Amino acid sequence: EEEPLPRELQVTKGDPNRKAFSVAVNRSEEIQAARIGLPVVGEEQKIMEAIYNNSVVVIWGATGSGKTTQLPQFLFESGFGSPGSPNPGLIGVTQPRRVAAVSMANRVSQELGEHAEKVSYQIRFESTASKKTAIKFMTDGILLREIADDFALRKYSIILIDEAHERSVNTDILIGMVSRIVGLRKSLSEEDPSIKPLKVVIMSATLRISDFTENPSLFRSGPPPLVQAEGRQYPVSIHFSRRTQRDYVEDAFRKVSRGHRKLPPGGMLVFLTGQNEIRQLSKRLKGAFKPTQREDTTQAKVQLSANEAPLEAEDLELGGTEMDNAGEDDYDSDLEITGLDDAEEDEGFDLGEEAMDSSTRVHVLPLYSQLPTKEQMKVFEAPPENSRLIILATNVAETSLTIPGIKYVFDCGRSKEKQFDLYTGVQSFQIGWISKASANQRAGRAGRTGPGHCYRMYSSAVYEADFAEYTDPEILRTPIEGVVLQMKSMGLHNVINFPFPTPPSRQGLAKAEKLLKNLGALSADGQVTQIGRRLSTYPLSPRFSKMLHIGHQHGCMPYVIALVAALAVGDLFVLQNQLDQPKIQNKKNDSDSDSDSDTERKVYTNADRIEDTEREQKSKAQARAHRLFSKHDDTSDALKSLSAICAYGYASDGDAFADQMFLRGKAFKEATQLRHQLTDIVRSNNPGLVPTYTPRLPEPSTKQIKALKQIVTAGFIDQVAIRADLAPVPPEIPRAPRRAIDVPYLTLFRSRDGKGTDLVERAVYVHPSSLLAKLTPKEMPQYITYSHLQQSAALVGDQIPKIRMFPLVVPSGLQLSAIAHETPLVE
């Protein structure tokens, strides 16, 4: 017997051949007008038919064509997510980035007018989901967690996997998972008619989808159909530079300045690689032109980070450790620059239209992933009247967010990518050329509201010679121990046979399994152990989970939780090299450049001197503040983070405290949320083991500090470096090191030669940002547990770039043998 339909459900359009249901939505005229022009709206019938007739559909449409905002609404209108309809389960939409999950949920909610409350989002630290939710936006990490809880995803009737072209690890795994869940739900529904089959839509902004459509292991019932939403993109004129400047931030300043003076009204979007560059350019533009008066809180607050990974470690840390990545910003990138040409350049700013009055104010807004959400959302607000909107963004703005009113794109052609050497475990942040696909995405951002222009800060020769067609999927560039453990504990033992869109390398898999065995998470024959099952319940890298697992000695658990939160969030401190650079140095650079810009600074003025003095004081204050956090233990960087977390917990005004102590407020907020979340998980795993969460945590005792060092080392048991001159076979050391950062340590690497199997030893050195760098060479400890290795360009004075380690703690030999007793250090 059929239940009566809720009144809001009526029989109308959708699929005429079926008894379809629909939910009426009344949109405001303004919203309606904006939707009509979207390519995806023009293809509604075609898209919905494909979804009705297939369990998996791939939709391709250029960025801005309406995929993310419109598809969930089509589905909602045809009954998906509404109780009583044939598809009452939720509409789930996944995003690789938190920013996109939040802002897209807000936009769709707004477009749905009276049904606004049917839309919610869930990200690692926040959820707006309620009983009324029909459409849930979330990061792909959140959905992976939900799969671990219910492999059939019974809550959902349809999953939209967005931005699939970005090929993040989580997205790739998710696609592999849902390809199996679709089959499972089909057989479940055949047994139990109350369970509906699951539908899946994969959405991509590029046509590089053959990894999904032509992968025989992925969708067994044959390749899913592709629906194309014809882009009604306005034409974008591409202007290549004649020259490719090495200093592209400088180049961007010159080009944007000239563009502002010469170009007709229209918003500008400038692509850079990281937030330090964005801050630098923002400051210079605001100095050169009159900024708008709208309050810009980012100026007042110190929000610095060197870590501007293109994809953040989002809600499920499947990858490696997201540690203090500070420091990679102070090295020069080594870019191959070609295509230099001395001819006079036509920059393409003369469009034959009337330029904007050059006294027009500039409305400069930053946009990058670590910016507080509230600040990020400002790019969607209309700029003040009679101003030019200038958005300075990382590749966050490349495909996920559509910023209204952009007519001009300035593309530096580079991005900062986390690279990870699967053989050696050495990670690095490299600024490198983007792919042609990315360059075209960036250019496309100029053609949303009308014909636009893209100014490429590189030559067509560089573009042709050095740009790859597409970027490699992330799974080929990242540690995957979290992925492997997650899969094994879901019962997918044979990871090598998992239907990955692009399978990870054998070396990557082998390295992950070896670490998991060392952590005790896998047995010798690769089966998940009791410990492994435990570890997989934490939304963390297995290393951190291991620390929590053994954290209940000497009342250490609250400290271990705080420490793990600190390390997992990373980048807690504003570092010396992230304070503004002295003017006296800038002056030198400026006079070197052949700029014809009249806003260029040429002299070192009295005002500069005063600024430099202030900066020097600031730098001293920073050093003094940070010293307070290492007063109990001046050799362990990890315990310095813990101290800072403890101190922050006592502050009545966290933000003020962070500013005063040169801490990154956003990171501390996240760490606090993570502490809370982890406390809850530990409590639910072992009731009574820790008290309920409280931010206040007194400094650990001496005994606890000792235990904490051992606990940290247990999580990083394969990352202990031994002082080279004390090692059994010391390598050749040319001369006695003069600085602590020149003292060689040995660690075990898997050799790249010798078919990747034999072990060779290579020297590594402490990173200058570590507390240990302040010691004398003689004081340097015998052992150092480190979080990761990084290969960077040479520091001044180094002939060849050294591999630098980021130390965590200094364990004693006794502690090491105690740990090794349980898990062997070297196989």
In the complex, which residues of this chain contact ligand ADP (CB under 6 A)? Answer: 38, 61, 63-70, 103, 107, 380, 402, 404, 448
Q: Which of 98, 146, 102, 97 is closest to 120 using CA atoms? A: 102
Question: CB under 5 to 8 A by kind: which of ligand ADP, Mg ion, none does 557 bind?
Answer: none
**With CB under 5 A as the contact rule, which of the stretches 62-70, 257-265, 341-349, 447-455 interacts with Mg ion?**
62-70
Residue 11: phi, psi to the nearest 5? Answer: -85, 115
For residue 801, the minimal CB distance to ligand ADP (Å) is: 39
For residue 470, the minimal CB distance to Mg ion (Å) is: 18
Q: Which is nearer to ligand ADP, 252 or 443 (CB)?
A: 443
SS3 29: helix
For residue 116, the minimal CB distance to ligand ADP (Å) is: 14
**With CB under 5 A as the contact rule, which of the stretches 29-37, 59-67, 533-541, 595-603 interacts with Mg ion?**
59-67
For residue 351, the minimal CB distance to ligand ADP (Å) is: 23
Residue holding tokens 């990761």?
788
Site string (608-637) toward Mg ion, x via CB under 5 A: ------------------------------
For residue 406, the minimal CB distance to ligand ADP (Å) is: 10
Which two structure tokens, joined as six digits, stand for 414? 């580079």
For residue 365, the minimal CB distance to Mg ion (Å) is: 20
Question: CB under 5 to 8 A by kind: which of Mg ion, ligand ADP, none does 715 bind?
Answer: none
Please count the helices (runs of H) and the strands (runs of E) in the chain.
27, 23
Which two structure tokens, joined as six digits, stand for 307? 């870590």
| Burial label, 2 (beta-carbon count in 10 A; 0-12, 13-18, 19+) | exposed
For residue 68, the minimal CB distance to Mg ion (Å) is: 3
Other beta carbons within 10 angstroms of residue 19's beta carbon come to: 8
On whether the CB atoms of residues 792 and 428 are closer than 8 A, the answer is: yes
Q: Based on the shown chain and the rule CB under 5 A, indicate whether residue 204 belongs to the binding site for Mg ion.
A: no
On whether the CB atoms of residues 176 and 218 are closer than 8 A, the answer is: yes
Which two structure tokens, joined as six digits, stand for 129? 């989901």
On whether the CB atoms of residues 711 and 551 are closer than 8 A, the answer is: yes
For residue 59, the minimal CB distance to Mg ion (Å) is: 11
Q: Which segments within 186-250 are labelled E, that is strand?
A: 199-204, 226-229, 236-240
Neighbouring-strand partners of residue 364: 390
Q: Which is nearer to ligand ADP, 69 or 179 (CB)?
A: 69
Q: Based on the shown chain and the rule CB under 5 A, indicate whether residue 68 belongs to the binding site for Mg ion.
A: yes
Question: CB under 5 to 8 A by kind: which of Mg ion, ligand ADP, none does 604 bind?
Answer: none
Q: Which is nearer to ligand ADP, 84 or 404 (CB)?
A: 404
For residue 377, the minimal CB distance to Mg ion (Å) is: 16
**With CB under 5 A as the contact rule, which of the stretches 66-74, 268-276, 507-515, 637-645 interacts with Mg ion?**
66-74
Question: CB under 5 to 8 A by kind: which of ligand ADP, Mg ion, none does 69 bind?
Answer: ligand ADP
For residue 65, the minimal CB distance to Mg ion (Å) is: 8
Q: State which residue has the least CB distance to Mg ion.
A: 68
Q: Which is nearer to Mg ion, 163 or 375 (CB)?
A: 163
Q: Which is nearer to ligand ADP, 397 or 567 (CB)?
A: 397
On whether the CB atoms of residues 804 and 793 are closer than 8 A, the answer is: no
Q: Which is nearer to ligand ADP, 267 or 744 (CB)?
A: 267
Question: CB under 5 to 8 A by kind: which of ligand ADP, Mg ion, none does 65 bind?
Answer: ligand ADP
Q: Which is nearer to ligand ADP, 380 or 693 (CB)?
A: 380
For residue 32, the minimal CB distance to ligand ADP (Å) is: 13
Q: Which segments within 114-214 are labelled E, that is strand?
A: 119-123, 126-127, 135-139, 156-161, 199-204
Q: Which long-range contacts (CB under 8 A, 24 or more apart) does 296-301 make?
A: 296/365, 297/375, 298/366, 298/371, 298/375, 301/655, 301/659, 301/665
Q: Which is nearer to ligand ADP, 196 or 453 (CB)?
A: 453
Rounded CA-CA distance 127/136 in Å is 10
Question: CB under 5 to 8 A by kind: which of ligand ADP, Mg ion, none does 575 bind?
Answer: none
Question: CB under 5 to 8 A by kind: which of Mg ion, ligand ADP, none does 404 bind?
Answer: ligand ADP
Rounded CA-CA distance 239/455 in Å is 5
Q: Report CA torsion sign: 646, 650, 653, 656.
A: negative
Q: Which residues contact 547 (CB under 8 A, 6 or more apart)?
A: 560, 563, 564, 711, 712, 714, 715
Q: Which of 659, 670, 632 is closest to 771 using CA atoms? A: 632
Q: Which residues contact 222 (CB under 8 A, 6 or more apart)?
A: none
Q: Which is nearer to Mg ion, 404 or 695 (CB)?
A: 404
Rounded CA-CA distance 730/778 in Å is 16
Rounded CA-CA distance 711/671 in Å is 19
Q: Which helix (H) or strand (E) holds 715?
A: helix 702-715
Site string (18-57) toward Mg ion, x via CB under 5 A: ----------------------------------------
SS3 453: strand
Question: CB under 5 to 8 A by kind: which of Mg ion, ligand ADP, none does 747 bind?
Answer: none
Q: Which is nearer to Mg ion, 68 or 85 (CB)?
A: 68
For residue 448, the minimal CB distance to ligand ADP (Å) is: 5
Chain-centre distance for alpha carbon 115 = 31
On whether the CB atoms of residues 731 and 750 are closer than 8 A, the answer is: no
For residue 391, the minimal CB distance to ligand ADP (Å) is: 13
Q: Which residues contact 84 (CB under 8 A, 6 or more apart)?
A: 3, 5, 6, 9, 21
Which two structure tokens, joined as six digits, stand for 189? 């529904």
Question: CB under 5 to 8 A by kind: which of Mg ion, ligand ADP, none does 66 bind?
Answer: ligand ADP
User: Under rule CB under 5 A, how many of the chain's residues touch Mg ion?
Assistant: 2
Question: CB under 5 to 8 A by kind: which of ligand ADP, Mg ion, none does 542 bind?
Answer: none
For residue 104, the minimal CB distance to Mg ion (Å) is: 7
For residue 139, the minimal CB distance to Mg ion (Å) is: 14
167 dihedral zone (left: phi>0; alpha: psi -120 to 50; beta): left
Q: Which is nearer to ligand ADP, 399 or 815 (CB)?
A: 399
Q: Which is nearer to Mg ion, 5 or 377 (CB)?
A: 377
Question: CB under 5 to 8 A by kind: which of Mg ion, ligand ADP, none does 448 bind?
Answer: ligand ADP
Q: Which is nearer to Mg ion, 229 or 674 (CB)?
A: 229
Which two structure tokens, joined as six digits, stand for 282? 């923002």
Q: Which is nearer to ligand ADP, 24 or 33 (CB)?
A: 33
Rounded CA-CA distance 120/134 in Å is 8
On whether the CB atoms of residues 396 and 445 are closer than 8 A, the answer is: no
Rounded CA-CA distance 326/693 in Å is 29
Rounded CA-CA distance 668/646 in Å is 11
Q: Which is nearer to Mg ion, 67 or 546 (CB)?
A: 67
Residues that bind Mg ion (CB under 5 A): 67-68
